[in-house]
Amino acid sequence: MNAADVSVALFNRPLLQAHTQPLHGRSLLAGPLLSKDAADPVIRSVGAASLDKLCGRWAHWLASDARIRYCRDCMRHGFQSVVHQLDGIASCPLHGTPLMDRCSGCGSPTAPYAVTEATLDMPFCCYECSHPISEVWLTLKLFRSKDLPFDERPFAAMMGWLKQLGILQIEWPEIAAWHPSSEGEPDSPSARRAVFSVLSSLVPLPLDLPRTSPVRVLARGPSADRFRRLLPAYDEDAHQQLGAIYKSIRRHVHRRLRKISPGLSRKGIDLDLFGWDTMAPLPQSRGSQSGAHAWLIWRKRFEQEFYLSGSTHNDFSVTSPRRLLLRPEVLSWPVAWAARPAEWGQFVWQCFVADLESARGWSRAIEALPPLPRYGQRSDEQQRAWTQFSATYSMWAPRLNPEIRRWPRSLSQLAWTDATTGSKELLLVGPATQVDTPHEAIQPT
């Protein structure tokens, strides 16, 4: 059978020529269109073993069909598993061999994990240079090694894990916008590795696989039902308690920041600013001002009446009203559920750590730019520098300006219900680089 025949047998539809996102229209990964009642038993078994049959909607969040991923040792047996497509797995569960998604001859990406001419008309060969993706493929050695015993247990164990995910009760409304690294994009391999990492903290992996994603659960605690807020707007006591937690963390952060950040003093902030964009301050100098910059972003995120006033050219004082007013959005975090003060305090602290990461990222980003003229006539070259600066800022704006995104994109929350106990837990997840807060910092004082 060539690709055209396989497509008709599996999908009852002809081959497609274009690859569409997120899944190819003839994907082997997750196929609502895969034919379930094909006459050929091999074809039927392919349809029954697709990833979405195993773990439902998670298929799309854990794996991609853009390239076939393979283990060179499994290839000696002509074997490739859907488990190899999981981005959270960096090496073969059986052999420990690093998984590949490129031709070992010319380095071209492998064909899509879908029914296409590139994938099937020369199976397991590079469609650019025809080099077999394993040296033994298409040789007599393959037929000999096919008879060797092959241990499928690790793959069966992983499929069992995927099936458990399929029945897990998780609500994760923010998943599409979440990316734990400040530079990465959602719907990228690193985002899929992060989702894998979080899910494996809920359902432990059956195998001891090397961890591939620097992501972790930052806080975890019981949660009330969806939309039943712990803190209705009129609950003055509860708001005061959260305000006290915030102030306590703010004191702690300020003490630590003053030691590392020369721009921050007891009285004010010494910052060389490019300017403001809807209340987002942009420091001009590189490196040493990141601490003070993060301090501004973070306070703007939480405090309703927080602003900077500049007296001289680069000397600013922070105006705090006598009575702290937290912004309603942060008071009602997480939006869909209710969190205890302990988890809320973790959220406050982790926002600061994420803002510090963003401020440092911004500092690195402007380091690469040509120096900017500030006033007066601009030459063409200076105009280009400004254009470059604006383009860089528009990329960073959602991370630097709390008016655009309420909380850092690297943090996300989800709720899951334990099937046996029925209890609901709330999880705050984010980069593993996030630092734990000392316990006393989140105690109200």
260 contributes a contact to Zn ion by CB under 5 A: no
Residue 81 beta carbon to Zn ion: minimum distance, rounded to whole angstroms:
9
73 versus 174: smaller Cβ distance to Zn ion: 73
3-state secondary structure of 318: strand
Question: Residues with Cβ < 8 Å from 356, sequence gap 6 or more?
Answer: 290, 291, 294
Residue 249 engages Zn ion in binding (rule: CB under 5 A): no
What residues numbered 71-100 form the site for Zn ion, per CB under 5 A?
A: 71, 73-74, 92, 94-95
For tokens 């943090």, name the residue: 411
Tell me how far, at minimum, the Cβ of 129 lies from Zn ion, in Å.
Answer: 3
Which listed range, 70-78, 146-154, 304-312, 338-346, lies at the site for Zn ion (CB under 5 A)? 70-78
Q: Applying CB under 5 A, does 415 fall inside the site for Zn ion?
A: no
444 binds Zn ion per the rule CB under 5 A: no
Selected from 1, 42, 129, 404, the binder of Zn ion by CB under 5 A is 129
3-state helix vs strand vs coil in the chain, percent to 5: 40, 15, 45
One residue of 19, 44, 102, 131 binding Zn ion per CB under 5 A? 131
Nearest residue (CB) to Zn ion, 97 versus 284:
97
**Residue 364 has which token pair?**
């690195």
Cα(79)–Cα(151) distance, integer angstroms: 11
Residue 51 makes CB contacts below 8 A (sequence gap 6+) with: 29, 30, 59, 62, 63, 82, 85, 162
Binding to Zn ion by residue 128, rule CB under 5 A?
yes
Residues 6+ apart with CB under 8 A from 145: 76, 77, 136
Question: Is 105 an interacting residue with respect to Zn ion (CB under 5 A)?
Answer: yes
- Smallest distance, Å, CB 132 to Zn ion? 9
Rounded CA gap, 209 and 193, in Å?
A: 13
Listed ranges 103-111, 170-178, 234-242, 320-328: which one lies at the site for Zn ion (CB under 5 A)? 103-111
Nearer to Zn ion, 118 or 170 (CB): 118
Which of 129, 435 has the CB closer to Zn ion?
Answer: 129
Count the Cβ atoms, other than its own, within 10 Å of residue 288. Answer: 13
- Give me the phi and psi of 260, to 5 degrees please: -105, -10
Question: Which residues make up the interface to Zn ion (CB under 5 A)?
Answer: 71, 73-74, 92, 94-95, 103, 105-106, 108, 126, 128-129, 131
